Each structure stands twice: as C-alpha cells, then as structure tokens.
Structure 1
Amino acid sequence: MNLGIDIAIPNLAEILLSAKNELVSLLKTNEPLWIEDTTDGRYVIHRDSYDRTFSNNFRRKGGISSRTIFESSKDMGYVSMNANKLITMLSDSKVRLDIFPTILTESVVVQEYAGKMISPNQLGSIQLVYEQMHLYSPLLAPRCWYYLRYCEKIDIKTWVIVEVSCDPFSSENIQLPGCGTPAWRLPSGCLINEAAPSLSKVNWLEHVQVDDLKALTPNLYRDIVLRGLSFDANRFLQTLLRSVFRLNCHIMFNKIGVTQHFGQILSMTPEARRVILDISYNMLKNFCGNLTMKNKIDLPYMYSNNIRFSIYSVNGSTSQNSRFLVNATTSMWIPLPFNEIVDFFNNANMRNQWDVLCNQQAAKQIGIITYGKSQENSISLIQPFVSLNPNLMVIQETLSDPLGAVVLYTLTDVYDLQKAIHKAIPQGSSLPLTPPCDIEVIPSGFIIYKDGSPGTKIATSKKSCTYAGMDKGSIVTAVFQVVSQTATSFETVEMSLVKTLHSVVTSTIQNIMHALNCHNQ
C-alpha cells in the first residue's frame, strides 16, 4: 500500500515504550485488572481498574460514548516452533495472511521506520501496518485499523511483539479503504518465551475499542460479535497453533499420520500427501479471499431467500485474460449443536443427501489425513458417483476454530492429481506455508459457528427461534462458486449460469435442512 506521503508520527518512541510496558503488565497480571465473565468463564479487563492503573493516552481521539464497546481477552498456549522463527513469521505481514487465513483478509506494511531505534534490544524495524479482519459472512462488514508494530527482546529467552493504534492521518484526511467497522487497537500483542529448542510459550492479548458495533451487527451474529468472540485472543492463538501444525506436517510430510490407505486410486506417498496439503491450503486461501474480494460486482436484483450473488474476477483484474466466477452465499440459523452439523458434512455416507453432484448416489471416502493437537483437523478424499466422469474426486478439508469449524471442498480430476504428485519435489518446505500448485481450485463450503446464549432471540427468514446454552444452535454460512467458461468481462457473465447456481443453492439448502430434520425452521 503506497499512500504517496511520508508519515511522521510524533512521540513514536514514547508511544511504543509505554504500550510495551502496558502490554507486559496486562499479560503478567490477573486480578484486579482481569475479572471472570460470568457468561462463559473467560477473563476480560475490568474497566475501572484499568482506567485507574493506566493512562488514557492510547484511546481514540474523541473519547468514548454510549456506542463504544471494549473487547479484551488473553490466552496462553505452546507452539511447536523455534521462538526466533515464530517471531519472524508474526512480524511479517505477508506471512500473517498465511497464518491467519480465516481471520485476516488484508495485512500490509504501509511504512517502515528503519532508522528509528528506541531500544538496544529492538528487533527489526518499527512498522506502520494496515490490517483488515472479517468474520466470514455476507452480512458482516470487515473490521480494519492502522497500528504500529514493534518487537523487542526483553530477556535472554523472552520477546514481546506490541501492536497499538495511532492516529497518523488526522491532518491528512485519509479514509480507511474498504472498511465497514473502523476499530482502535489498544496495546495488544504477545509475549513469546523459548520453552525448548523447538517449542515456544505464547501469551496472546487482544484489547480493542469499537464504536457503533451494535448498530452495524445483524441480529443473527449479535451473540458472537457483541460478546467479543469474533477476534479474541483464544481464536488468534488457536489459529496460530493450527497453522503451525500444518506447516510442520508439510515440512515433515513423511511423518503425517494417515488413517486409511488411498487404495488403487492414489498411492499415498510422501509426495502425494504434500500435494494434497498444497491443494487444500490453496483451497482455503481462495475460499476466504473470494468472500472478501474487492474486485466484484454484486447482483442485488438476484437476491432471494437470503441468497446473495456476486461476480468476481478470478485473478483479481478485469483484463481480457481474466476468468470470472459467480459466488452465491447465504447464512442461516440451525437449531443443532455445531459438532452435529460438522459430523453430517464429514460423513461421506450421507453426502448424497445434500450434494447435488452425487445425484443421490452413494459417495465413498477413500482416504483421510488428520493433523492438529487432537487430530481435530482433517483432509479427506471422497469419490462421488458420477457416471459421466468416474475420475472425478472431491478434496474436502475440515478446520477446527474456537467459534466452530470450516468445511470446504473442491472438485478435481484423478489424473490431474497424479500429474501434480509426479512433479512434486521430495523435500521439505519453508515459508510461505504452501508452494504454488498447478491445479486450479474453485472451492465451495460451509462456515459453522456455535451460537446460543441464554434467552437470545434471533430471526431466520420468517421465524424467530429462542434457545438456551451455547450448544443449542449454530450459524451456518454456505458458499457456492462456479467459473464462467465463456465470459470475457463482468457484463458478459451469462445470467443462465447465475440462475443455475441459484437453483443449486436453493435445492442444496433444502436438502440439508431436510436431512437434519430442520426443514420447518
């Protein structure tokens, strides 16, 4: 991102040193600065104690109002990675997009202050960063901010990365691009301690000020968003753990656990596992990126039954060489615990009850790769029954998330997969998390969020539902995508393709609700 100006920040050293001290203090202190949230047992900052202990220097100009909401959380975990390597990853905005693909949609260094040294133990340059986050749903606007990032080694085995918002543009009249929910980052970040040569102890803290959040949040998502669960410390830390597990699996692919051999269709060699990881990760990146792609045209006149349609340029441009993709998304509330819904989508024997590709014929899971601390993440190979093309295969990945899970899948050809495996180089990979893969990936899938605080009412289409307990309901966002084979511009995307996708989405949702015995919702 090039703003075309040199951004000077007064009192830069004072801001960062004060923010670092506040962050370390909050991470090392519990009561009375932190109190237990009686709703779910999480710890949040006690506002009165915080205001008495720390100055108000980091708050957004203009103070707070009745529309202001503060979000605060902290968490601790152990990451299977060398501390120096982990710090390098978390300090690189491009790599952060690979680490947090289900949270971050944009992360870019606006300016580096290479000549600014505020401590002899400073690591790297001070960075002014623009970042955008999104809770994946067509109903929610992204959250974005500018902040300063600073890293320092505070003792022989401990490092701190501090991130704090500043207001460098107050005299430049610069607006945040593409941002629906401007937010303000109070001193946040992490402490990283070298617990062992390949093990890091990470303490993560998020502290955010957001205005007008209640007015900008649809009823369907208020329980998640207004309780501060969207982007809390636990979600960042668990996503970091998942990405590092995946990276370690990619590097050490010979040690990946496979619970079932791939039979005659594919030989489960280390190269095969590595290629499948590559394809699946590209699928995740494309899936998340397409949901928030800026270069799109919405089709409001096609909205019906809460289904939203957009047209995207596959490669992000509108040149004559571009290919165009039609995207359909819809969100719904289902009165079932999220794990039951995830199990339903992961059960190959039940796939013919909802996937139109199966044409009501049985599908078969022919292999699975699992990874993660409790093997809760998986990549499956599924063979649907398609009489016209028996070589088609579905690659499906399920990702665990503190909010629930993401289930996404793409269709590929067995022969294309075998060619990619044949070309794979049998060696480990370093950053980025995945090398390029030749196979084009057009993913569809489902984002399943836990939902259901006591006494909450939300609306789904024409009916309101009341539920109690966090395991009583789920918010499901379904995303379906298809590429136009003939369009050369947004205007030439055939409406027949849009209408066909509308029919597929409508029938698939009806099939899912019927199979889950929720067709009356």
Structure 2
Amino acid sequence: MFNSHQHLLDISSSAQRTPDNELDFIRDEEFDSNSGADNMEAPNSGDDDQAEPNQPPNKKKRYHRHTQHQIQEMESFYKECNHPDDKQRKELGRRLGLEPLQVKFWFQNKRTQMKAQHERCENTQLRNENEKLRAENIRYKEALSNAACPNCGGPAALGEMSFDEHQLRIENARLRDEIDRITGIAGKYVGKSGLGFSHQLPLPPPEAPRALDLAFGPQSGLLGEMYAAGDLLRNAVTGLTDAEKPVVIELAVTAMEELIRMAQTEEPLWMPSSGIISSEILCEQEYARIFPRGIGPKPATLNSEASRESAVVIMNHINLVEILMDVNQWTTVFAGLVSKAMTLEVLSTGVAGNYNGALQVMTAEFQVPSPLVPTRENYFVRYCKQHGEGTWVVVDVSLDNLRPTSVPRCRRRPSGCLIREMPNGYSRVIWVEHVEVDEKAVHDIYKPLVNSGIAFGAKRWVATLDRQCERLASVLAINIPTGDVGIITCPAGRKSMLKLAERMVMSFCAGVGASTTHIWTTLSGSGADDVRVMTRKSIDDPGRPPGIVLSAATSFWLPVSPKRVFDFLRDENSRNEWDILSNGGIVQEMAHIANGRDPGNCVSLLRVNTGTNSNQSNMLILQESTTDITGSYVIYAPVDIAAMNVVLGGGDPDYVALLPSGFAILPDGPMNHHGGGNSDIDSPGGSLLTVAFQILVDSVPTAKLSLGSVATVNSLIKCTVEKIKGAVTSANA
C-alpha cells in the first residue's frame, strides 16, 4: 500500500517534466550559470580575430559575471515582476548597463532556480504525508497483532476485531480509491492517452506562458496538489460530472495565468480613469490582442466592466487567503457587496495544511445597497495558488459555458486578487474585476455609477477590504485606545460590542438590496411604487425578536455631497431632526469605539433622554457608521438595556435581539467624492441615499399581516425621507 504512495511521488515528479515542456527545461539549462550571477554573451569581432584556427567562430563564447549591484537590482525587480516584458527588460538593461538579452537570460535562470526550489519543497511535503500514513498504518497493524479476545483473553479470531480492524479496512479502501483516481487522471495529462481539452476550451496566446506549464510544471504541480494529500472531494457535493471536472481544472489554471498577467502588466493594458473616484480601467483593444481567445467571445447583449486597484492593508497575507477561501468569512467581510454565497463543490482543499492548490465551485450574488440596482448572480470556480515566496493569487472565473443554456445576465471573466506579503503583518493587494453584464434593469439615477464600474468594481472591493481590515484590527486590540470613550471598561466588553455591531451590519445589508432570495418575501400591491416592502417571520432565531417583521427600503437622489449627508446622519446632535425614535429628545453618546483611520468609522452606544416620556428615558441605540472612498453606511438598532449590560460586561452578544435600520450613501457618479479615507475633499455633486427600516409589527409569528401595518411602515419611511431632504437641503442652501 505504501509503495502506491511512493508511486504518487513518482507521478507528481513525472508530471513536472512532460514532452510538452521538455524544451523549456533544455533552454533553461543551456543558459543556467552560477545562480544567475554569470551570463553568456555572443563574441564580438575582436574575439573572432583572435580565435584559434580550428575553432569555428560561431562556437566561440564568453561569460559575463554581473556585479553585485546589478544582481541586487534584478533581485529587487524580480520580487515585483518575475516575467518582465520586452519594454521592462530594455529599461532595466539600460539602467544597469546590460543588454536586454542578458537581462532575459538572468530572469530565465532565476525562474528555473525558483521552480527547482518549489519542487524540492513540495516533494518534502509529500514525503512527510507519506511518512504520516506509514506510521498510522503501522499503528493499526500493531493494534491488530496485540488484540485479545474479550471473552477468553486469547488472540482474537477473525471477525472479532471491531474498531481497529474496521478503521484499517476503511483506510486501505480509501487509499486504493485515491490511487486509482491518481492513475486515471495522471494518465490523461502526463502520459499515455494524450487526451486534452483544447477542443472544449481555448488555449492562451502563444506569447503568454503556457497554461499547462503553470498547471503541471515544477512550481505548481496541480495534479500532485489535488490528489497527493488525499483531500480530493473530501467535502464535495454532487454537481459536476467526472467528465466536467478536468475541464473545470484546466479553465481554472488558464484563468490563473490570465489574472497574474493582468495584475502585473501596466500600460497600455491598463489606463488611468478620469474622475475623483478614479481607478485603472482596461483597454479592450489591448486585452483582445494579449488574450485573443480568453474564455470565449463576449455576448452582444452584455457590456464589459473591468477595473484594477491596489492597496496596502493591515492584515497578514495568510489570513487574507483564509478569508477569501472560507465562504462564510468572505460573505461577512464583504457583506455590503456579497448578499449571499455558497460553496457547491470542493475539488481540492490544497496541500500541506494550507490553501495552495485549493479549488472550489461556488455561487454568489453581488449587490449594491439599493433596491433599484439588480443583483448579479454568478456560478464560478475559485482557484487559490501560491505564486512564489510570500505571494498568493486567488482567481474566479464563470462556469456558465460549461453547460450553456441561455445567455447569463452576468459573467465573470478571470477576476480576483494577487496578495504579497509585506513587513509587520501588512499585505499588498492588487485586485482585478472583469465582468460582462446586462445593465438594462438598473434605475436611471444609478446608471452613471454602475456604468462607470465603480459600483461593483475593484476600487469598491479594495476599499471595503481595507476598511474591514482596520475594523478587525480594532476588534483584536488588547488595550482600549485613547480615542474610545464611555462606559466600556474592559477589552472583553469592547469585543462583544463590536461583534454585536457586526451582526447588525450584516442583517441590514441582507435586507437593503434588490435580492429577494433571502428569507424575506416581497409584498406586491403594498401601495407604494417607490418603496420596496418585504416581510419575514422570526420564530426560533435568538438574534431577532419573535414575530412578523416588515422591512421597507427606498432610494432617492439628493443634491448634496455624500460627505455632508454622512456627517449629518451620524451626528447624534442632529438626530432628533429625522429620527422618530428620538421623539425630539436629547441623544447622548454613552460609548464610542474607533474603527479605523477615518473618524467616521466607529461604533457608538446612544441614549435617548426625553423629559416628557419616562418610558423612553432609558432607551439605548447601537449605531455603527462606516465610510470609505466608494460609499458610507449609518446603521442603528434599538437595544434592550439589560441585554446591553451583559454585552458590555463581555457576555455573548448572539442572544441580543436586533432589528437594524439605517442608511447607505453612495456618490451619484465617478466625478463625485464622499469624503472618506481621511480626505477633506467635498466636491460638488449629488448623493444616492437608501433608507431602510426593519420593524416588528406583530409579536406572534403565526399572526396574519394587516394592510394597516404595511401602510404604517410606508408612512414612516416617507416621513423620514421628507425630514432628511428638508434638513440637508436647507443646511446646504
């Protein structure tokens, strides 16, 4: 049985040098010289004159040893880009006094060294896995040999071994099954059958690195990663057929190669966009030239959106990868962008205890916080790969062409991010969003923002990630920062309050968008065309009060900058101008937790004091305000004072019932700016404001919803909208 595992290593090794890439190894070996420090040059005419008579001139070669400065400069450039193009090689050679061919040879040698290093590392990991299995099998055999009959105390007879024998048989059957799969799949790719899938999926252009080199070369070893550790389909759900899985694997590998090139290539592929909220946008002509086949032609009914953004975020690169590959964490961090997500099938969980080589089939729904912008649903594969030391890449690509039925409303071309390790626990993220989408159903007031690519683009993903990384750093803080004030006296209470606020934000985002696939039911004939009203029944959810809950949301345009709207709504001193809950009373901030660099990112606990109604004198409101360059939120919920005391003491916040309401504030186009991200810019332009309420209309879940309740909610939201319009426009006059 363990010989079969050794055979696994042989398969992985043989997969790394196939007839298809043998020429690449020969070429790399030809120019390999002293770890990249030496480079071979063609002789000049003076050397030819002094050549020996019997030595053919074209055989004469000399070697050039690079200076330490040249090596350091190229090493530094390699960390940023390990595959420079002609323009980059010429510029680097000019700066270092080298010929472009010398630079090219040095980078070839360096890549070969790195491939060999990764190959040795992966083989070591496989050997360790093999040794673990060997030790486990020996332990089972010893248990069998030492087993005794429970009745007589003598050696156990065949059939009397229960647990150990059963476990051993299961283990052997599993290993045999995996080895059979390895043999079948490896035969398709690296050996004898020669079966490929080029007739089903287009290959990358000739000038690009070959997708199969990425998949099966020494640096990657996708087949070895997917099968060697015995993780294949361990948590899979039936979905893809056996014939479709290799197609998905090849598509994921091709998408990975495209994303890496798009993340690292500069002009003319990427051009700076205009507007204050700027991002890099894709040059479609250059993209078509570099990737002439791609994943298939763009349907005529779909528009193309592509953008790129980069930032340094305060999170370790490994933790970032874990968030992206865990569907629950991913949905939580990007709650304003991802309204729902699900992992349908796991083709690989990676090797060596990390996500290197992980491959999963997913479905997700992306949203803008407004009922006027349709959600975008995608069925895609997500592939994670370590790309050099301290660098990871996560790519998504749609699988709609796998079983074509009709043209989808949204299709994801290779999109995702490249993550590089930075000092002190920071990471540099380069994010690429490339989709094809039908935008006809978008409301007119949101079309400038959506058509510009900002609403769903890379800048919004990166801005959200940056803000959430700051928030997580605040949650993990041991000492209470000096900016935090109020009644919070212990780190545990601070952490519980932040966790409660996080659940409040997620609940708000789940009910504010255009998605109707949640537990909410959209009501028809509610009597308000511009207000979307939904209902849900809460019975056994400890985080929500039991009964019938109504959610009402509407969006409208304001001739006021997003920054001013955000500052007005989050200020407790102006709350009585629009909040019916305050009933004209004085609102006082009892606790304040800073959540990032921008002072607008914070969690507050507010108390409403009214002189006329003693029942409301102790009402508490939990509020979180968040802002970045792409949008802002002010979300709040009334909370029970007894339950809040438990939270402030460090108790479990999951049992505090919340019904969040609040606001989502977006710029009305790419030329606007909301003032987030430590910026004082307040440029002219309008705001797109979404107002949403969740209200308990009956505490009995089995009760029937009355039309009067719907009318009351409609009246409440319209009254709030009119008060906000009047307050902010008069202040702006």
TM-score normalised according to structure 2 size: 0.61
Counterpart in 1 of 2:641? Answer: 414
Runs of 5+ unmatched residues, structure 2: 1-234, 673-681
For residue 305 of structure 1, report the CA deviation from its aligned partner: 6.5
User: Among 64, 82, 94, which residue is 2:328 paired with?
Assistant: 94
Q: 1:80 aligns with which of 300, 314, 337?
A: 314
Q: Which of 345, 362, 382 does residue 111 from structure 1 map onto?
A: 345
User: Is 2:203 the partner of 1:203?
Assistant: no
After superposition, give the CA deviation of every residue in 1:247-266 in whole Å (9 maximum; x if it has no partner). Answer: 22212242444343x2xxx3
Q: Secondary structure at the residue paired with 2:455?
A: coil
Q: Which has the larger radius of gyration?
A: 2
Aligned-partner Cα distance in 2 for 1:326–1:16: 42
From 699, 712, 716, give the equivalent of 1:486: 699
Query: Contact 1:450–1:471 (CA<8 Å) still a contact in 2?
Result: no
* Aligned-partner SS, 1:155: coil
1:345 CA displacement: 0.8
Q: Is the partner of 1:84 in helix, strand or coil?
A: helix
**Equivalent residues of 2:306, 2:453 under 8 A apart:** yes
Mapping of residues 387-466 of structure 1, within 5 Å: 387=613, 388-422=615-649, 424=651, 437-452=654-669
* 2:371 paired with 1:138: yes
Q: CA deviation at 1:95?
A: 1.0
Contact 1:33 1:46 in 2 (8 A): yes
* CA shift for structure 1 position 42: 2.6
Partner Cα separation in structure 1 for residue 441 and residue 508 of structure 2: 24
Whole-angstrom CA distance in 2 between matches of 1:168 and 1:2? 21
Deviations 1:434-459 (CA, angstroms, capped at 9, x unpaired) = x752211101001111114679xxxx
**Where does residue 431 of structure 1 map in the other structure?**
none
Does structure 2 retain, via aligned residues, the 8 Å contact 1:59–1:186? no
User: Compared with structure 1, are the counterparts of its residues 518 and 158 closer, same or farther at alpha carbon in structure 2 (3 Å cutoff)?
Assistant: same
Residue 408 of structure 1 and its aligned partner are, at CA, apart by 0.6
> Greater share of strand residues, 1 or 2?
1
Kept in 1, the 8 Å contact 2:605–2:620? The answer is yes
> Could you say what secondary structure the match of 1:254 adopts?
coil
Task: Report the Cα distance in structure 2 between the residues aligned to 1:310 and 1:28, rounded to whole angstroms.
Answer: 45
Match of 1:129, SS state, is strand
For 1:64, which of 299, 311, 315 is the aligned residue? 299
The 5 Å alignment of 1:109-508 reads 109-114=343-348, 123-167=356-400, 169-170=402-403, 182-210=409-437, 212-213=438-439, 215-260=440-485, 262=486, 266-291=487-512, 292=515, 294-304=518-528, 306-314=530-538, 323-386=547-610, 387=613, 388-422=615-649, 424=651, 437-452=654-669, 471-489=684-702, 492-508=704-720
Cα RMSD (Å): 3.0
Contact 1:36 1:42 in 2 (8 A): yes
2-structure distance, mates of 1:267, 1:253 = 13
CA deviations 1:349-392 (Å, max 9, x no partner) are 11111111222222222332112233441112221124223221
Tell me if structure 2 keeps the 8 A contact 1:410–1:444. yes
* Equivalent position of 1:432 in the other structure: none
1:72-116 CA distance string (max 9 Å, x none): 111111222222222111111111011101100112111111399
1:37 and 2:273 matched: yes
Cα separation, 1, equivalents of 2:328 and 2:603: 25
Cα pair 1:447 1:476 within 8 Å, conserved: yes
What is the identity, as a one-letter code, of the residue corresponding to 1:31? E
Output the CA distance in 1 between the equivalents of 2:400 and 2:532.
36
Cα separation, 1, equivalents of 2:321 and 2:350: 19
Closer, same or farther: CA 84–71 of 1 in aligned 2, 3 Å? same
Q: Distance in 2 between matches of 1:151 and 1:220?
A: 37
Q: Residue in 2 aligned with 1:513?
A: 725
In 2, Cα distance between the equivalents of 1:486 and 1:17?
Answer: 53
- Name the CA distance, whole Å, in 1 between partners of 2:430 and 2:669: 28
Provide closer, same or farther for how the CA distance between residues 389 and 376 of structure 1 changes in structure 2, counting only shifts above 3 A: closer
Provide the C-alpha distance between the structure 1 equivalents of 2:359 and 2:584, rounded to a whole number of angstroms.
57
- In the alignment, the residues of structure 1 paired with residue 539 and residue 316 of structure 2 have an alpha-carbon distance, to the nearest angstrom, of 35
CA contact (8 A) 1:335 1:518 kept: no
Q: Does 1:50 align with 2:287?
A: yes
How far residue 45 of structure 1 moved from its aligned partner, in angstroms, is 0.8
Contact 1:147 1:164 survives alignment (8 Å): yes
The structure-2 alpha-carbon separation of the partners of 1:6 and 1:384, relative to structure 1 and needing over 3 Å to count, comes to same
In structure 2, the residue corresponding to 1:515 is in which secondary structure? Answer: helix
Distance change in 2, residues 1:390/1:322 (3 Å): closer
Change (3 A) 1:251 1:30: same
Secondary structure class of the residue paired with 2:240: coil
How far apart in 1 are the matches of 2:403 and 2:257? 26
SS of the equivalent of 1:363 reads: strand
SS of match in other structure, 2:530: coil
2 CA distance for matches of 1:227 and 1:514?
30
Q: Percent of pairs identical after alignment?
A: 26
Bigger shift: 340-349 or 246-255? 246-255
Q: Distance in 2 between matches of 1:68 and 1:34?
A: 21
SS in 2 for 1:140: coil
In structure 2, distance between residues paired with 1:111 and 1:373 = 39
CA distance, structure 2, for counterparts of residue 247 and residue 115 of structure 1: 26
Residues 632 and 665 of structure 2 are in contact (CA less than 8 Å); yes or no, is this contact kept in structure 1? Answer: yes
Output the CA distance in 1 between the equivalents of 2:575 and 2:662: 13
Matches of 2:372 and 2:236 in 1, distance apart? 30
In structure 2, what is the Cα distance between the partners aligned to 1:350 and 1:122? 48
The normalised TM-score by structure 1 is 0.84
- Of the two structures, which has the highest relative contact order with CA contacts closer than 8 Å and spacing of 6 or more? 1
Deviation at residue 267 of structure 1 after TM alignment: 4.2
- 8 A contact 2:585–2:609 mirrored in 1: yes
In structure 2, the partner of 1:22 is 258
Distance in structure 2 (CA, Å) of the matches to 1:258 and 1:497? 42
Q: Measure, in 1, the Cα distance between the counterparts of 2:536 and 2:382.
A: 33
Cα distance change of structure 1 residues 92 and 322 upon mapping to structure 2, 3 Å threshold: same
Q: Is the 8 A contact 1:450 1:473 kept in 2?
A: yes
**Alpha carbons 2:559, 2:685 under 8 Å: kept:** yes
Q: How far apart in 2 are the matches of 1:277 and 1:335?
A: 33
The 1:130/1:304 distance shift into structure 2, 3 A limit, reads same
Could you say what secondary structure the match of 1:283 adopts? helix
The answer to whether the Cα contact below 8 Å between 2:608 and 2:618 also exists between their aligned partners in 1 is no
Q: Is the 8 A contact 1:327 1:482 kept in 2?
A: yes
